[in-house]
Amino acid sequence: MGIDDVWILTLNAGSSSLKFAAYQANTDQQIIAGQIAAIGPSAKMVLNGNSVSIDADNYADAVRAVFKTLLDHSALSPTPAIIGHRIVHGGKLHAAAEISPEVGLEIEAAAALAPLHNPPALAVIDAVNDILPDVRQLACFDTTFHADNPQVATTLPIPKDLRDKGLRRYGFHGLSYASLVRRFHDVTGVPLPHRILALHLGAGASLAAIVDGKGVATTMGFSPMDGLVMATRAGAMDVGVILHLIRTEGMDADDLERMLNRESGLFALSNGNADMKSLLASDDPAAEFAVAHHCYWISRHAGSMIAAMQGIDGFIFTGGVGENAAYIRDEILRQLSWTGDLPHWVIPADEEGEIANAAKNALFS
């Protein structure tokens, strides 16, 4: 196999999906990308704008379907040189790590902190081990970008014995933010500003305060449930509400996790609609309020990020909503007009490209 035949595979497991992309290692060129959506009885292979029903009742089936698709591609040799995985929560791991039994245990230990993402990622890793046991696998963590945030920004004000067990603010969407920083000049043609507020807005949403290319604060915290109001997640929540629900509604941890992760946010405010595109198109007062509430709290949290940077020199929008919903961008910028006439950029998210870049570094280091 020559250098031109060496390729990298990236796998990004969601709560019911598996995104994949193949890259030529020596050029960073993306060769093919797609996803298995709605893993289960209604699974579909989405590729080149087309959607086809497939048999993928679980993540192992989805991985096999991905490899079958890749084997049929004429530009790819049979086996990738390395596979990079998106892992939402790295726990104690603060840098990309080649997957070993020890690394797998750390990912599993952090699974309770990201229950929608770490368990599926582990299932995908196990499936790859069964199919291609000799291929190197690399874990790339969403928490890495925020790992060096100042201690004052990451420390939870709770008893030390609990902090010593790893309870802290971690932050997420780190692969997206790292990609924005790495690609900024190439995409925009200008240097990265000294102080930038990055807004990753999608079904999951967060903000990151970035100074000289390094994260200094972010809205997500111990888990991806913190911070902004999201599609189905409540975001920042007064713990008094949680205690009240336990005492008066008889809710337990599973009830609360389901409500706060899957039944809150835009979904709750609009009486059942979590899709921003349809919310913006609706004249239902509940939908209009949900959008207004979303923008208000993004702008309010943005103020705290700007305080962490002691000023701001520009904004970056990314993510499905950040890239495609001009009204949301304009409304947030209007509410932040007190910062002055600052530039803003819209940059497509590229988590897969960031994983591929980390995998390439591991492959050729």
Catalytic positions, please? 142
Reading the block at residue 46, the tokens are: 């989405």
Amino acid identity, residue 265?
G
| Type and span of the H or E element at 32 | strand 30-37
| Spatial separation of the C-alpha atoms in residues 268 and 59, rounded to whole Å | 29
From residue 11, how far is each of 22, 137, 302 by CA, in Å?
Answer: 9, 10, 31
Q: Say if CB 360 and CB 354 are below 8 A apart.
A: no
DSSP structure class, residue 67? H
Q: How many CA atoms lie within 13 A of 333 on its CB side?
A: 19
Q: Say if CB 197 and CB 316 are below 8 A apart.
A: yes
Q: Say if CB 340 and CB 314 are below 8 A apart.
A: no
Residues 6 or more apart whose Cβ sits within 8 Å of residue 276: 231, 266, 291, 320, 321, 325, 328
| Spatial separation of the C-alpha atoms in residues 345 and 351, rounded to whole Å | 18
Residues 6 or more apart whose Cβ sits within 8 Å of residue 138: 82, 83, 84, 85, 96, 97, 98, 99, 355, 358, 359, 362
| Spatial separation of the C-alpha atoms in residues 356 and 175, rounded to whole Å | 11
Q: Say if CB 361 and CB 316 are below 8 A apart.
A: no
Radius of gyration (C-alpha) of the chain in whole angstroms: 21
Neighbours of 30 (CB within 10 A): 16
